[in-house]
């Protein structure tokens, strides 16, 4: 249930509602809007309804949220979209964000080169995994803490905020020291312990859709993070598994406008992992931008032929600036501007 307070409701009136909600065992989640405060009462709907909060001092009206996810729903924010701020960069709203870099941190030279390439071309954030979820246990698993140190160095040099994956709660501390945005990969989308912990940490989260997850399951995963009081969640469509074998995954671009109807959270598209090959990355990115995505996360490598992983899908350094220019035009079609760094 959503309890919408009157404009100008006092702190004491809000506190009184929270107290009554909590008294029936529900969780009260306060959201301070521009004009009014909304209290999300998350718990047994019947118990909250029986409180008779209509007419209580400061309460304007009550709105039931029928979806299984509450805090992630568009209704909960009364249509106002979340803008996640990462080190001064705004993601969401009328901005189009660009996150770029290699698949994994593989060496100091490649990481710093990649960082310079994406920075010079005008990307906003730098990606690179120090911990890699690989299908085969025999594949390169990431440099771990040594990789995190290289990411910190790349940020130091370029000033670009870092997006990097966290796979295991045991690595929280070192990852949080370096990550400006914690990526939770497709394979971790339903790791509920991890979701809860990043929720508690309050750090911005890029939550990737599982290979076979429905949009509702993705939103329920986001709910785990939001429920812990962390509002900085971005969703990422990265391709789902279908029966079509001609490309790595099927980029579900329909998810973009559909998610916009369901949630206030920013929606990022990863064309690289969906495509699996370079030639598809640009057309998919343009389509994502035109469809109203809030940004892309894309792989770029100084020498894709030598990349330790995902080389075939990495954009080349020399094509990246031109790619961003085209992306800017496509984002404009959806009323968004490529955020200036
Ligand atoms: C990645 O972005 O590096 C990655 C492994 O993506 P996903 O979790 O979507 O496969
Ligand atoms: Mn990759």
Digit-coded pLDDT (tens) for 120-171: 999 999 999 999 999 999 999 999 999 999 999 999 999 999 999 999 999 9
What gap in Å lies between CA 271 and CA 282, rounded to an integer?
8
Where are the extended beta strands (E) located within 33-147?
37-42, 59-63, 84-86, 89-91, 95-101, 125-127
Nearest-CA residue for atom 8 of ligand 1 = 185
Q: Which ligand is nearest to the CA of 129?
A: 1
Residue 105 has phi, psi (to 5 degrees) of -80, 115
Q: Are 232 and 264 within 8 A, CB to CB?
A: no
pTM confidence score:
0.95
Ligand 1 neighbour 92 (Cβ under 6 A) = no
Cα separation, 203 vs 106, in Å, equals 25
Give nearest CA residue, ligand 1 atom 10.
186
Closest CA to 22 of 49, 37, 42: 42
Instruction: Check if 238 has its Cβ closer than 6 Å to any atom of ligand 1.
Output: yes
Mean pLDDT of 234-253: 97
Quote the ligand 2 centre to 187 CA distance (angstroms).
13
- Per-residue pLDDT at 199 exceeds 50: yes
Which ligand 1 atom minimizes the distance to the CA of 239? 9
Rounded Cα distance between 340 and 124, Å, is 8
Q: How far apart are CA 20 and CA 292, in angstroms?
A: 40
Range list of H helices, 122-144: none
Q: Is 133 in the pocket of ligand 1 (CB under 6 A)?
A: yes
d(CA 221, CA 218): 5
Q: How confident is the model at residue 34 (pLDDT cuts 50, 70, 90)?
A: confident
Question: What is the CA(250)–ligand 1 centre distance, in A?
Answer: 14
**Which residue's CA is the nearest one to ligand 1's atom 6?**
185
Distance between the two ends of the chain, CA-based, in angstroms?
A: 39
Q: How many angstroms is it from 103 CA to the middle of ligand 2?
A: 4
Ligand 1 near 208 CB (within 6 A): yes
Tell me the pairing of strands 27-32 and 125-127: unpaired
Give the Cβ contact number of residue 167 at 10 Å: 21
Report whether residue 260 contacts ligand 1, using a CB cutoff of 6 Å.
no
CA 288, CA 161: separation in Å to the nearest integer?
23
Report the residue among 99, 126, 129 best suited for mutation to probe ligand 1: largest number of ligand atoms under 8 A from its CB. 129
pLDDT digits (tens, 9 = 90+) for 51-102: 899 999 999 999 988 899 999 999 999 889 999 999 999 999 999 999 999 9
Whole-Å CA distances, 190 to 130, 224, 296: 21, 10, 22
Q: Is 229 in the pocket of ligand 1 (CB under 6 A)?
A: no
Distance (Å) from CA 186 to ligand 1 centroid: 6
CB atoms within 10 A of CB 12: 9
Q: Which residue out of 129, 139, 163, 185 has the highest number of ligand 1 atoms within 8 Å of its CB and is therefore the one to mutate?
A: 185
Distance (angstroms) between ligand 2 centre and the Cα of 145 equals 18
Q: What is the pLDDT of residue 234?
A: 98
Torsion, Cα of 92, 97, 103, 108 (10° steps):
-120
Looking at the chain, how many residues does it have?
A: 341
For strands 27-32 and 37-42, give the pairing.
antiparallel
* 186 CB near ligand 1 (under 6 Å): yes
For the chain, give the mean pLDDT.
96
Model confidence at 341: pLDDT above 80? no
Structural tokens at position 194: 């991890």
Determine phi and psi for 75, rounding to 5 degrees: -60, -40
Is the CB of 268 within 6 Å of ligand 1?
A: no
Spacing, Cα 242 to ligand 2 middle (Å): 19
Cβ-based neighbour number of residue 216 at 10 Å = 12
* Residue bearing the CA closest to ligand 1, atom 4: 185
Task: Determine contact, residues 127/90, Cβ cutoff 8 Å.
Answer: no
Name the nearest CA neighbour of 320 among 336, 304, 340, 339: 304
Tokens of 291: 């469809």
Bridge partner residues of 200 (DSSP): none
Name the token pair of 268: 């990022």
Q: What six digits make up the tokens of 93?
A: 């709203």
Nearest atom (ligand 1) to Cα of 272: 2
| Eight-class DSSP state of 129 | B
The answer to whether residue 315 scores a pLDDT higher than 90 is yes
Closest ligand, as measured to the CA of 274: 1
Q: How far apart are CA 325 and CA 267, in angstroms?
A: 20
Q: CA-to-CA distance for 45 and 74, rounded, in angstroms?
A: 19
102 lines ligand 1 (CB under 6 A): no
C-alpha distances out from residue 249 to 223, 240, 257, Å: 25, 5, 19
Give the pLDDT confidence score for residue 308 in this predicted structure.
Answer: 96
């Amino acid at each position: 249930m959503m309890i919408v307070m009157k404009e100008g409701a006092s702190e004491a009136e809000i506190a009184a509602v929270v107290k009554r909600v909590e008294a029936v065992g529900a969780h009260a989640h306060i959201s301070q809007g521009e004009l009014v405060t909304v209290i999300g009462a998350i718990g047994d709907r019947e118990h909250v309804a029986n409180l008779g909060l209509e007419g209580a001092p400061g309460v304007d009206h009550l709105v039931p949220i029928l979806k299984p996810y509450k805090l992630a729903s568009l209704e909960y924010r009364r249509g106002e979209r979340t803008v996640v701020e990462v080190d001064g960069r705004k993601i969401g709203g009328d901005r189009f964000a660009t996150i770029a870099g290699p698949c994994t941190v593989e060496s100091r030279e490649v990481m710093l080169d990649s960082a310079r390439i994406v920075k010079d071309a005008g990307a906003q954030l730098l990606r690179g995994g120090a911990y890699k979820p690989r299908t085969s246990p025999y594949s390169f698993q990431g440099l771990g803490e040594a990789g995190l140190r290289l990411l910190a160095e790349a940020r130091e040099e370029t000033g670009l905020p870092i997006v990097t994956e966290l796979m295991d709660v045991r690595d929280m501390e070192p990852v949080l020291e370096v990550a400006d945005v914690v990526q939770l990969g497709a394979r971790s989308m339903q790791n509920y312990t991890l979701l809860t912990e990043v929720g508690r940490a309050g750090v911005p989260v890029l939550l990737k859709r599982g290979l076979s997850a429905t949009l509702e399951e993705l939103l329920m995963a986001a709910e785990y993070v939001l429920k812990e009081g962390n509002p900085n969640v971005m969703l990422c469509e990265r391709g789902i598994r279908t029966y079509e074998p001609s490309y790595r995954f099927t980029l579900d671009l329909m998810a973009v406008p559909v998610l916009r109807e369901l949630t206030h959270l920013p929606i990022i598209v990863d064309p690289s992992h969906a495509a699996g090959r370079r030639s598809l990355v640009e057309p998919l990115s343009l389509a994502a931008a035109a469809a109203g995505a809030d940004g892309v996360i894309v792989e770029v490598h100084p020498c894709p032929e030598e990349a330790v992983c995902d080389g075939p899908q990495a954009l080349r350094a020399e094509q990246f600036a031109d790619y961003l220019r085209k992306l800017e035009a496509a984002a404009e079609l959806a009323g968004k501007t490529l955020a200036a760094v």
